[in-house]
């Protein structure tokens, strides 16, 4: 019997221990915010937190999460002081900056970004690019993702110099 906490609720699993965590979260717990993309650890759609670490749930078997504490996008707001509307601060900036296009990849992007900012609250451009490199977006929202993470870390640019710097960053991202 595998026991784990998901979004602060204790759960049990007694099925095939090689079942991917993604299927448990989506099909057994009915938490559809974590998405299936490639199923091979290559796109980042399925990112959840194990503890505070961003992890690809599609390639994480249930046997590896016995005793773990998992957070999905549905439980993310509880991990930080909530912003207006009960959102995690990263989610709030995402909305404010209109980051998503189709939205399919965005829960994974937000989980990856939140893990980065929890570990490194003042990431450099290179830190952001390195941390987010494995999260793919077919809509090409990369510049908005990069800018949103910078706003989470440093606030909105409020000078011409900061704005120019931000524009350069978007071009480079």
Question: For binding to ligand FES (CB under 6 A), which residues are involved?
Answer: 36-39, 41-46, 56, 58, 100-106, 137-139, 141
Shortest Å, Cβ 161 to ligand FES: 30
Nearer to ligand FES, 133 or 139 (CB): 139
Shortest Å, Cβ 128 to ligand FES: 16
Nearer to ligand FES, 54 or 68 (CB): 54
Query: Which DSSP symbol is given to 27?
Result: I
Residue 49: partners with Cβ closer than 8 Å, 6 or more residues away: 55, 70, 71, 79, 111, 114, 115
Nearer to ligand FES, 10 or 61 (CB): 61
**How far apart are alpha carbons 62 and 3 in whole angstroms?**
9
**How far apart are alpha carbons 163 and 17 in whole angstroms?**
50
Shortest Å, Cβ 133 to ligand FES: 13
């Amino acid at each position: 019997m595998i026991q784990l906490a998901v979004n602060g609720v204790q759960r049990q699993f007694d099925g095939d221990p090689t079942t991917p965590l993604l299927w448990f979260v989506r099909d057994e717990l009915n938490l559809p915010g974590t998405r299936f993309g490639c199923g091979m650890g290559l796109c980042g759609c399925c990112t959840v937190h194990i503890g505070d670490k961003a992890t690809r749930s599609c390639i994480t078997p249930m046997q590896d999460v016995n005793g773990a504490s998992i957070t999905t996008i549905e439980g993310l707001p509880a991990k930080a002081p909530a912003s207006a509307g009960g959102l995690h601060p990263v989610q709030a900036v995402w909305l404010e900056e209109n980051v998503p296009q189709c939205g399919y990849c965005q829960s994974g992007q937000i989980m990856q970004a939140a893990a980065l900012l929890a570990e490194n609250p003042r990431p450099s451009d290179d830190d952001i690019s390195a941390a987010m490199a494995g999260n793919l977006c077919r809509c090409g929202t990369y510049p908005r993702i990069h800018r949103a993470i910078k706003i989470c870390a440093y606030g909105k640019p409020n000078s011409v110099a900061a704005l120019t710097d931000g524009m350069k960053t978007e071009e480079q991202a």
